Structure formats: C-alpha cells, structure tokens
Copies of this chain bind each other. A is one copy, B any other.
Amino acid sequence: MSRKIRMGMVGGGRGAFIGGVHRMASAIDGEIELVCGAFSSNAEKSKLSGEDLYLSPERVYGSYEEMILKEKDLPADIRMDFISIVTPNHMHYGPAKMALENGFHVVCDKPLSFNMKEAEDLVKIVKKSGLIFALTHNYTGYPLVKQAKMMVQNGDIGKIRRIVVEYPQGWLSTKLEDSDQKQAAWRTDPKRSGAAGAMGDIGTHAENLAEYISGLKITELCADLHIHIPGRLLDDDGSILLRFENGARGLLFASQISAGEENALKIRLYGDKAGLEWSQMEPNSLIVKWLDQPMQILRTGGAGLYPVAAAHTRIPAGHPEGYLEAFGNIYRNFAKCVQARLFGSSVDPIYNDFPTVEDGLRGMKFIETVVASSASNQKWMKLG
C-alpha cells in the first residue's frame, strides 16, 4: 500500500527556469503530486503562478514560512510531505532549515547554500531531523552515468589514472545581466549567488560528477578563475588542475563565455584497462575505449549494462531519454525513499541513490577552495 507523495514548492514562479524543470521532472513518473507552493515572495505573483498550475488558491502561499506553518496544521492525509526549493542560492538555507525543523523532507537545488557556514549548519540540521534531503545534482541521474560509476566500482576500467571533466556554456558571452534576464542577473550577483559565478553554478556539477563516477575525492587543486566581461562581478570562466586521492591527475573547466556552447558537460576517465567518455548532450551513449579491443558504445536501454542503468531507464533503446528524465530519476528515487519512510517498507538499494546534503557540503568546500586557490600564488591547495 502506497500513495503519491505530496510536494510543496518554494520559488519557481512565472519567469523562473529551474522551477518548471523540477515540476516536470517530479511529474513524469507519477509518484509525486504538486499540492502547494510559495512561488514568489510577492503574494500576488505567487497566486498567479498557482493559478497557472491549477492549484487550489488556499494552498498557494505568500512565503515559505506561511506555507510550512499552514501545511503543518493540515490533516496528515492532505498536507505536503516535502518541499522543493528552487530559489536562488541565497534563499536555500532559510526554507530548508525551517522545513526540516517542522518535519518536512526536502529537495533542494544546487549548490547547497550561499556559503560554507550555511552548508555545515544544514548538514547538522538534516542529521538531527532524521529526514530525507536530496540535492539536485541532476546529472548523476542519467542511467549511463550510473553505468559508468558501476563500471569503475567493479574495476572494469582498472585503476583510474586521469579524469577530464568540462562544462562549457556560452550564454554569458555578453553582459546579459544588464538586460531583464532573471537567470543571468542573480547568477552573476555575489549577493545572491555566493562566492563563485560559473564555478558555483556549473563547476560544482562537474566536480560532483567526477567524484560520483570515479568514487575518488579530489585532494588538491590549482585554479585559475577569470572574469572576461568587463563589469561582471563573478567568474565566468575557469580552469583547474586536479589531483585525486589515489594519485590520479585531472582537470576541470567550467565556462559561461565559451561562445556558442550550449550545455556541454562532458567527462572522460582513463583507467589502466580502458577509458570512458560521456557527454551530457548525447546522454544515451557511453563510449568505452579499451586498450586492446575495439571501442564499444553502450546505449541507454541497450545490451551489456549493469542493472542500475536499466533501473533508471523508462523506454527501450533508441527512444531518447534526456535531461528531464535524468532529473526525474532524482525525484523518483527520493519519492521511493519517502514512501518507504511513510509506509515502513524498505527501498531497493538500487533506488536509494541521489545526491545528499553531504554532497552539497562537498560542493561548497570545492567553491571555497577554488576561489581561494585562484586568488593565491600558492600552486596547490588542499580540498579538505
């Protein structure tokens, strides 16, 4: 016996980008329903967004505080089970803390918080609450990313020697923040985005992906961040030399001024038996480059995959799944864990797999270290 779990959304009103993504991703598998929201700090705007989404007016709130308190008072068979936080970075901590302290599970967009202090605090609050917290490092939701992780874990590519992870975009090639573009405005604003620009927005995805697949921690790094657009306040481009705990070397770059690039997250890992290559823009192929045998292309839904890949795939090979489906895997897995909590059932470990508050803390440490490294003449800096 089970039921759909009920979501309340914080942020994501008209004009937002990532809020719609969270809604589509959470809807796709039929495990979650949106029941309420505080879509904007402006109550009127929040109402209009609620209407767009066909919500009952009485469950559209003017603030997350109001939402959390009022929902808490609703009967158990009606009130939301969790909140989804899709606000700019400086607005993650408040709703996450309050939700957890009032008994609601949390899904939070990345990076975890505005700064390290908030991140460390949230780790403690989650722990204390015993509640479920998912961070939407959504790229780990792709089935072939999970396949890659499993191949590394099982030794298929041998000891990892080299990792190259890159995330070029071009959309900030002009000073877009001077226009009305909401996304550009807050992402380039240190008061809302935090200490880093591109490196916080997308570099953390790259860092998370590299550590997720490889199972290796970055131990030292050497960064060069740069602002190419005059007047911009945060880095829009950066490259980082990496060293990993097992002695592997690597590099990471993230850029939002790589003209003409869309969303070209890509990772290559080289072991002593084979190399792996995966590109987010062609997410249904995983290239395996063997030392002494022909290259293989593993395909979403295709032959030769570990069970984890099939468990995160919906349709047969050749019917392309994309960004929303991968994002949906985070929500689907989160939903299964919440349902298990609600109904006392157990969760197949294959689904107990989504980024956590600790991954978020890791990302914040990464940001802090990269920013410090870039400002320093010291070549190598430890990533604790």
A interface residues with partner B (beta carbon < 8 Å): 2-4, 17, 20-21, 23-24, 27-30, 34, 53-54, 157-158, 161-162, 164, 166, 168-171, 173-174, 222, 224, 226, 228, 237, 239, 241, 243, 249-251, 253, 255, 257-264, 268, 270-275, 280-284, 288-299, 301-304, 314-325, 376-380
Contacts and interface: CB of A to CB of B under 8 A. Distances in A.
A281 B262 CA distance: 19
A247 B117 CA distance: 35
A17 B318 CA distance: 14
Given A294-B299, A297-B295, A303-B290, A249 B260 contact: no
A273 B258 CA distance: 10
A378 B275 CA distance: 32
B173 A291 contact: yes
A281 B275 CA distance: 17
Contact of A261 (B275, B283, B319): B275
Contacts of A166: 164
Given A251-B251, A262-B299, A321 B323 contact: yes
B320 A323 contact: yes
A370 B223 CA distance: 17
A320 B75 CA distance: 40
Given A168-B268, A259-B271, A377-B378, 12 more contacts: A2-B54, A3-B54, A27-B30, A28-B28, A161-B228, A258-B275, A259-B274, A260-B290, A261-B318, A262-B319, A294-B296, A324-B325
A187 to B, nearest CB: 13
Nearest to A263: B318
A241 B28 CA distance: 40
A103 to B, nearest CB: 23
A166 B272 CA distance: 20
B222 A224 contact: yes
Nearest to A253: B251
A319 B202 CA distance: 13
Contacts of A272: 173, 259
A302 B262 CA distance: 8
A297 B299 contact: no
Contact of A321 (B53, B250, B322, B376): B322
A157 B295 contact: no
Contacts of A250: 239
Contacts of A168: 268, 270
Given A28-B24, A29-B24, A322-B321, A241 B222 contact: yes
A224 B241 CA distance: 8
Nearest to A326: B320
Contacts of A281: 284, 318, 320
Given A239-B241, A272-B259, A323-B320, A298 B291 contact: no
Contact of A23 (B30, B224, B262, B301): B30
18 contacts: A24-B314, A28-B324, A161-B259, A222-B224, A239-B250, A259-B289, A260-B288, A262-B316, A262-B319, A263-B317, A281-B318, A290-B303, A293-B304, A294-B296, A319-B322, A321-B324, A324-B325, A376-B379
A284 to B, nearest CB: 8
Contacts of A255: 162, 270
A360 to B, nearest CB: 22
A226 B248 CA distance: 9
A170 B158 CA distance: 14
